[in-house]
Structure 1
Amino acid sequence: MCHQCVIEGVKKTMLSRRALFTGAAATGVAGVAAGLAPARPALAQTGGRVVDLTHTYDSDFPTFDGEPGILTEEAVNFEESGYQLLKLTLFEHTGTHIDAPLHFSADGASVDELEPQNLVCPLCIIDITAKAADDANATVEAEDVEAWVSENGAFPAGALVAMRSGWAAKVGDPSFRNDEAGGLAFPGFATSATDLLAEQGVLAIGVDTLSLDPGNSADFAVHYSWLPGGRYGIEGLNNLEELPATGATIFVGAPKHRGGTGGPARVLAVI
């Protein structure tokens, strides 16, 4: 299929989704927690430019616990069999990946139970790169959310709000995960921000670091407050600097293994 045909196909799909979501019911946290798609506005008009928000990862990619998140083994050799096949040993929370509600709750939705319409969202980006340059454990606070709204207007219903800290550029360097003393150190969200986002009908949050919580968190407060409410998160986003603060649409290619707490995802933005 030609490149122009693909672009036109994307446009038609986006316009079709706009019509689908016009007049949808269920708003805010109650609707999300009940597994219902919140009312959402038209998705972004696009010129067809796709930005890959996903890191390529292997066994050297940094993980929260420091252990390899994926191991690769040759299962079938091309010279011997005429085709090739790899065997993967994979931990769910590695690379660019999704955190399902079940990750931090006893009975939350598993990754295969996430509603498909909740994986295509308006994307809003809160930039804290200046703050993170001075503090490795900087957080998105309520005042950052309020400042974003003051500048850009209200968050679209059903939006995914991503933190841009500049941390994606550190992948491959020890400072992506640790401070000079060896402790976990990276930016994340504060509950003051996520509580406010939940009140405003935001569906999901994302970070360009290893965790929704900052590295020095002792209680995973954001994980425990955000995910059990029926919402999800994405960790390890890439290339957020290529996108505007608002106006893009994010597509979350979540895995669908039964009972999963999350898993590696191919995440794309269209602008």
Structure 2
Amino acid sequence: MCHACVIESVKSNMLSRRALFGAAAGSAALAMGAVSARPALAQSSGRVIDLTHAWDGDFPTFDGLPGITYEPDKLLERDGYQLWKLTIFEHSGTHIDAPLHFSEDGASVDELDPAGLVCPLCVIDIAARAAEDPNATVLPEDVEAWIGAHGQIPAGALVAMHSGWAAKLGDPSYRVDADGAFAFPGFSQPATDLLAEMGVAGIGVDTLSLDPGNSADFAVHNSWLPGGRYGIENLAGLDRVPGAGATAFVGAPTHKRGTGGPARILAVV
């Protein structure tokens, strides 16, 4: 399929009926990913790498507000056990974006096919370029270079960007530049259009957003998610995962009507 056709198809998915069709196609891709994950698991060493940041109210968020707050509800000395009342924003910490996040009738996080949350993990490394350009993006050439080095990207895979940004966590530069403007790497829409054509189920980043910090239109969010696919933001530990050969386990939450939510992401190598 030509790139122009893919782009036109993505635009069409923003319409209600086409979005439903895209969700069904996405579910099929997720199912294929579950099948292709099994051989990788059979060949793995069983070593587990946590790709999830520990998270509290100080963790950076897109809007700058605390993503989680704690209120004691039960105290050990008073009640005999301990319990927190939590107030959580869905899109904080290491978290998943469901199709519903950027579409009116896309799948909510509880509706994602669980078989598609166990999938081959493909890591595209742009850390060298991101060190020079804080708004660097994954380009189609990066996808093609990965294929040249590792072979075809499996349908149903999770493709993650390693920009080295996770090492900045705790410093303001994780979120903004010296002038206070958003600045962090992400995917380019031409790259995600190409990945959609390949039947990829999800994309992930080690930054605050699937789109780069200087994006003015959330082009990747608006094209990727309504097609029935998911995204993961604020990944950790991608420097410890090989470019190919690992299997990802996406521990997505299951609250109804959820546009996403904090997730535990593990890789088995």
Structure-1-length-normalised TM-score: 0.87
In structure 1, what is the equivalent of residue 196 of structure 2? 198
Deviation at 1:196, TM superposition (A): 0.5
Structure-2-length-normalised TM-score: 0.88
Look up the equivalent residue of 1:142 and give its one-letter code: P
Aligned residue among 204, 211, 214 for 1:213: 211
Q: Which whole-Å CA distance do the structure 2 matches of 1:224 and 1:118 have between them? A: 21
Q: Which whole-Å CA distance do the structure 1 matches of 2:251 and 2:58 have between them? A: 23
In structure 2, what is the equivalent of residue 148 of structure 1? 146
In structure 1, what is the equivalent of residue 3 of structure 2? none
* TM alignment of 1:1-271, pairs within 5 A: 33=25, 35-36=27-28, 37-40=30-33, 41=36, 42-44=38-40, 45-271=43-269
Residues 10-67 of structure 1, C-alpha deviations (whole Å, 9 max, x = no match):
xxxxxxxxxxxxxxxxxxx968535334424244121111000000010000000101
Look up the equivalent residue of 2:247 and give its one-letter code: T
Deviation at 1:255, TM superposition (A): 0.4
Deviation at 1:201, TM superposition (A): 1.2
Structure 1 residue runs without a partner (length 5+): 1-28
Computed over aligned residues only, the root mean square deviation of the Cα atoms, in angstroms, reads: 1.3
Q: Which runs of 4+ in 1 moved over 2 A?
A: 29-43
Q: Which whole-Å CA distance do the structure 1 matches of 2:70 and 2:217 have between them? A: 33
In structure 2, what is the equivalent of residue 14 of structure 1? none
Structure 2 residue runs without a partner (length 5+): 1-20
Q: Does the 8 Å contact 1:62/1:68 carry over to 2?
A: yes
Q: Which whole-Å CA distance do the structure 2 matches of 1:34 and 1:60 have between them? A: 35
Q: Which has the higher helix share?
A: 2
